[in-house]
Amino acid sequence: MALKVRKNRIPPPACPISDCMRFLGGAWTPNIIWYLSPGPRRFSELRHDIPVVSAKVLTQRLREMEEHGLVLRHVMPTSPPSVEYELTELGQELLPVIAAIMSVGKRLKRRREEIAA
């Protein structure tokens, strides 16, 4: 006897998990949020914090995050001009999520190391 397919009562567009993951799913987005958590950082400082990301990708992610309301961009009146980024209140709300992901990631890494040993 075949199992009856149950329909989901929540339509996909209304799913808050999908909305949140749309923000966090971009490459390097969680890293950027993490490194902005202590306070504002200049673009060059973020490049130093995350050396494996290219300047082009970092710029794209920061622009996307600014469009989504996660990051504020401040142009500093220096010569040459310097740009500083900081988390908005909405961006700061993602910090516990990222901390939880990091915690699980550490446990998974330890477990993988124990199995390999």
51-61 residue pLDDT tens: 999 999 999 99
pLDDT single digits (tens) 83-107: 999 999 999 999 999 999 889 999 9
How confident is the model at residue 11, as a pLDDT? 64
- Reduce the secondary structure of the chain to three states and give it as a string: CCCCCCCCCCCHHHCHHHHHHHHHCCCCHHHHHHHHCCCCEEHHHHHHHCCCCCHHHHHHHHHHHHHCCCEEEEEECCCCCEEEEEECHHHHHCHHHHHHHHHHHHHHHHHHHHHHC
What pLDDT digit, counting tens, does each position of 13-67 carry?
667 777 778 778 778 999 999 999 999 999 999 999 999 999 999 999 999 999 9
Please state the domain extents for the chain: 19-116
Q: Is the dihedral of CA 101, 43, 64, 50 positive or negative?
A: negative
Q: pTM of this prediction?
A: 0.79
Query: If one looks up domain 19-116 in CATH, what number appears?
Result: 1.10.10.10
